[in-house]
Amino acid sequence: MDIDTSYLDQFPTYVFSEIIGKWQNTSIKLEPNGLLSAENLEKTQNILESLSSNRLNHLQKLAGILTLTNVWWQVYQLSNPLSLSKIRLRPRTIDLVKLLPNDASKITAKFSVIDLCEHALLLVIEFSSRTRSLRDNYRFIYLPSINKILLEMKPLAEPLLKEELLPYLSSTPEKVSSKPIRARLIKKLAISPDDPQHRLNISFLKIRISLETSGIEGLQHIIIEGENVIRGVETLEQRHEISLKFMDSGPWVGVGTTDFHIEIQKGVKIHQLETDTFMRLNTVLNWY
Amino acid sequence: MKYTYLKCIKDGIRITDNYRAGQGIQIMKQKLVLKLVLLGDPGVGKTSLISQFVHAKFRNSYQLTVGLDISSKLIKLNDGRTVTLSINDIGGQARFAAIRHMFFKGAHLAMFVFDVTRAETLRNIVDPWHKELMEFCSQPDSTRSAIQTILVGNKTDLEDYRMVEDDEGEALAKKIGAQGYISASAKENLQVDEAFKRLAQSFFDQVRT
């Protein structure tokens, strides 16, 4: 029987291993490169074939919530660690009047937590209403070791965090502050540490050329892409004995690796939901 | 009649920029004019700072300064003294390097300007900008052995894009012997007057000491 595996494209290996391990009461070992990578594909298909249709449906529904790779996240700092013991798939009523003054509906919301890996938890608020055709979810990634929380960029994300999620998860008043991405972080990320061998492989660099600097309309950004753009530019400059001055012509406003992409006024985008990615993201976001 | 420089300032006598080092001060029309030059990379906002200071206007579009623009403004300092600043806006492009030193002649004050969103513009303050000015001051036919200077970090309104911290500016100001560092925004008119007035005031403070 051919089983559709396409929805597992972005499914974190860790989450899949945990769920299947629990269902089959055994530990599942998969390489942390994605379920559909060459190393895991056969094993993944064998596992899926052994599952009931109910469980396949459950995975498919979960895959929808775990579609996170095209999401821009905003970074917030928490004053105290969250206590996650309260989140156990417990329905709760949220009064949306507070958040949407023109909407008098009381909406049932289900709070849940999914361990993406040891360094990151996904907190989800799923809304549903019987009286209105409303189904939506709000997602937050909590990074416990640096006590930061990432908010999916959506209109109600911040009030939901401040007025619903934090009071629910914390017995003490939480202080939460936005940590906008700034050019200093981008530069630090691209060229720190000083030892080039330990630098991240930067595959994308976006340089802002403002009107005040360039003096002309129409030019806003210079983007360079490649396997390792910093090393590429440095080597090119040395070999050809030239200076690519565009690197200094404006602030660096966006930087990307194979794991993630960080950009001023947009936030953070995570390309892979694997343990190594979150470890590196923790390190980077801990820099400010 | 020739006064010593110090006596002139102490007596509150207004002087012109005809002052020549070691020759005393010529008093003309009872008006004190200080010549100020602005130095810094292209696009750091030298013209915008002057436009905001002199005309209280800011233009979003960028127009290249060809060679030199001169404007002036009468200001009142904290101690009540009034002084006219003759402000020389010098084009930052490398192609003006050969003629730039001519505009330094007779300058009493220099404002080094960099863009806080471009770290390179801060590095360039040391070389070429400060270096060029020092080379001019050390020439035998220079009119002045010391020019009062200040370092200004412009475009602080672009907080998200900022790549230079205040402490880096302060450290560089100290290194080049400037009177101080001011972070400013020509667009938002933040600390612009402060920068010009502080520089002018430093001229009289130096004379007093």
- pLDDT (tens digit, 9 = 90+) per residue, A8-20? 888 899 999 999 9
Are B74 and B9 part of one and the same domain?
no
pLDDT above 50 (res A89): no
Domain check: are B5 and B86 in the same one? Answer: no
- Give the A window 141-170 contacts with B, CB below 8 Å: none
* pLDDT reported for residue B28: 45
User: Poorest-confidence range of B9-13, B22-26, B97-101, B195-199?
Assistant: B22-26
User: Are residues B64 and B152 located together in one domain of the fold?
Assistant: yes
- The Cα of A214 is separated from the nearest Cα of chain B by a number of Å equal to 7
Q: Which residues contact B141 (CB under 8 A, 6 or more apart)?
A: none
DSSP state of B161: G
State whether B204 and B139 are in the same domain.
Answer: yes
ipTM: 0.72
Q: What is the pLDDT of residue B117?
A: 92
pTM above 0.95?
Answer: no
Q: For position A162, what pLDDT does the model report?
A: 87
Position B61 confidence tier, pLDDT thresholds 50, 70, 90: low
The minimum CA-CA distance between A210 and chain B, rounded to whole Å, is 10
How many percent of chain A have pLDDT more than 70? 85
Domain co-membership, B11 together with B67 = no
Tens of pLDDT, residues A191-217: 876 666 667 889 999 999 877 666 667
Higher pLDDT, B186 or B59: B186
pLDDT at res. A274: 87
Average pLDDT, chain A: 84
Contact between residue A235 and residue A288 where contact means Cβ atoms under 8 Å apart: no
Q: Is the pLDDT of residue A3 over 80?
A: no
Q: Is the pLDDT of residue B144 over 80?
A: no
Residue B108 is part of which domain span?
32-208
pLDDT of residue A74: 95
**Among B45, B163, B165, beta carbon nearest to A251:** B163
At residue B29, the pLDDT reads: 47
Measure the CA–CA gap between A184 and A195, rounded to whole angstroms. Answer: 18
The predicted pLDDT at position B27 comes to 45
Co-location of B48 and B72 in the same domain: yes
For residue A247, pLDDT over 50 is answered with yes
Query: Which residues of chain B have a CB within 8 Å of the CB of A248?
Result: 118-120
**pLDDT digit string, tens, across residues A90-134:** 556 666 667 766 665 667 778 888 889 888 999 988 877 666 666
Angle, CA of A152, A219 and B121, to the nearest 5°? 90
| B125 lies in the same domain as B191 | yes
Angle at A222 between CA A279 and CA B59, to 5 degrees: 115
Shortest Cα–Cα distance, B32 to chain A (Å): 34
In this structure, are B10 and B73 located in the same domain?
no
Domain count, chain B: 2
pLDDT score of A19:
92
Tell me, yes or no, whether B27 and B119 share the same domain.
no
Judge if B112 and B75 occupy the same domain.
yes
> Scanning every residue of chain A, which has its alpha carbon at the shortest distance from the alpha carbon of B64?
A215
Residues B48, B6 share a domain: no
As a whole number, mean pLDDT of residues A134-163 equals 89
Residue A151 neighbours by CB under 8 Å, 6+ apart: A73, A74, A76, A140, A157, A158, A161
Question: Does B200 have pLDDT greater than 60?
Answer: yes
pLDDT tier at B12, thresholds 50, 70, 90: very low
Cβ–Cβ contact A175 with B under 8 A: no
Position A287 confidence tier, pLDDT thresholds 50, 70, 90:
confident
Q: Which long-range contacts (CB under 8 A, 24 or more apart) does B20-28 make?
A: B20/B143, B21/B143, B21/B144, B21/B145, B26/B2, B27/B1, B27/B3
Can you tell me the mean pLDDT for B71-88?
A: 89
B146-188 pLDDT, tens per residue?
A: 789 999 999 999 999 998 999 999 999 999 999 999 999 999 9
pLDDT at position A86: 63
Name the closest residue on chain A to residue B45, using Cα atoms.
A212
Q: Which of A248, A250, A264 sits opposite B160 (nearest CB)?
A: A264
Q: How confident is the model at residue B23 (pLDDT cuts 50, 70, 90)?
A: very low
Give the CATH number for residue B154: 3.40.50.300
Q: Do A182 and B160 touch (CB under 8 A)?
A: yes
Q: Are residues B81 and B134 in the same domain?
A: yes
Q: Which residue has the higher pLDDT, A245 or B154?
A: B154
CA distance B203 to A140: 57
A162-176, A220-234, B67-81 — most confident range:
A220-234
Given a contact cutoff of 8 angstroms between Cβ atoms, the answer to whether A277 and A283 are in contact is: no
What's the whole-number mean pLDDT along residues B197-208? Answer: 87
Residue A106 at interface with chain B, using a CB cutoff of 8 Å:
no
